[in-house]
Amino acid sequence: MLREKLENSAADTLAQVENLRAEQDGNRREAESNIQALRNKLEQQGNQYEEKLDNERALHEAARREAEQNIQALRDTMEEMRNNYEEKLDSERAAHGGVQRNSEAGTQALRDTMEKMRNEYEEKLDKERASHDATRRDSEANVQALRETMDAIRSDYVKQFPTDKN
C-alpha cells in the first residue's frame, strides 16, 4: 500500500514536472516569437528611418543644386546687363563727343547704380548661402540625432532581450 502510494506520488510528481516543462517550453517559444516580432519591427522602423533620411538628403541636395543654378543664372544675367550697358555707354560716348562731360556723369551714375545692384545681389547671395548652410547643418544634426536614437533603441533592446547568439 505504501509502495503504491509512493509510486502514485512519484507518477503524479513526474506528470507535474512534465506539465511544468511543457508550460516552460510554451512560454519560451512565445517569448522567442515576441522577441523575433520585436526584432522585425525594429528592423522595419530602422529601414523606414533610413529611407526618410535618404529622402531628406536628396531634397536638400536638389535644393542646393537649384540654388546654385539660380545663383549662376543671376550672375550671368548681371554680367549680360553690365555688358549691354557698357556697350550703350561706349556708343553714346562715340556719338556725343561734344557732350562728353554729361555723358561721363551719366556713365558714372550708371556704373554706381550697377555697382550698388551688384553689391545688393552679392549680399542676397551671401544670405541665401548662409541659409542653405544652416539648413544643411540642421539636416545633418537631425540625421545624427536619429542615428543615435536608433543606436540607443538597439542597445536597450539587446539589454532587455539578450539572446543566445550574443
pLDDT in tens, 82-95: 899 899 888 877 77
Percent of the chain with pLDDT over 70: 93
Distance between CA atoms of 144 and 121, rounded to whole angstroms?
A: 34
pLDDT at 122: 86
pLDDT at 164: 60
pLDDT at 154: 84
Query: 97: which 3 cell numbers?
Result: 563727343
Query: 98: which 3 cell numbers?
Result: 561734344
Pick the closest to residue 89 from 113, 118, 115, 111 (CA basis).
Answer: 111
* pLDDT tens column, 13-51: 999 999 999 999 999 999 999 999 999 998 999 899 999
pLDDT bracket for residue 98 (50, 70, 90): low
pLDDT at 130: 83
pLDDT at 104: 77
pLDDT at 99: 62
CB within 8 Å of 67: residues ≥ 6 apart: 128, 129, 132
CB within 8 Å of 5: residues ≥ 6 apart: none
Distance between CA atoms of 131 and 138, rounded to whole angstroms?
A: 10
Distance between CA atoms of 108 and 96, rounded to whole angstroms?
A: 16
Query: 2: which 3 cell numbers?
Result: 505504501
Residue found under cell 555707354: 89
pLDDT at 100: 65
Q: Are 75 and 151 in contact (CB under 8 A)?
A: no
Distance between CA atoms of 60 and 137, rounded to whole angstroms?
A: 11
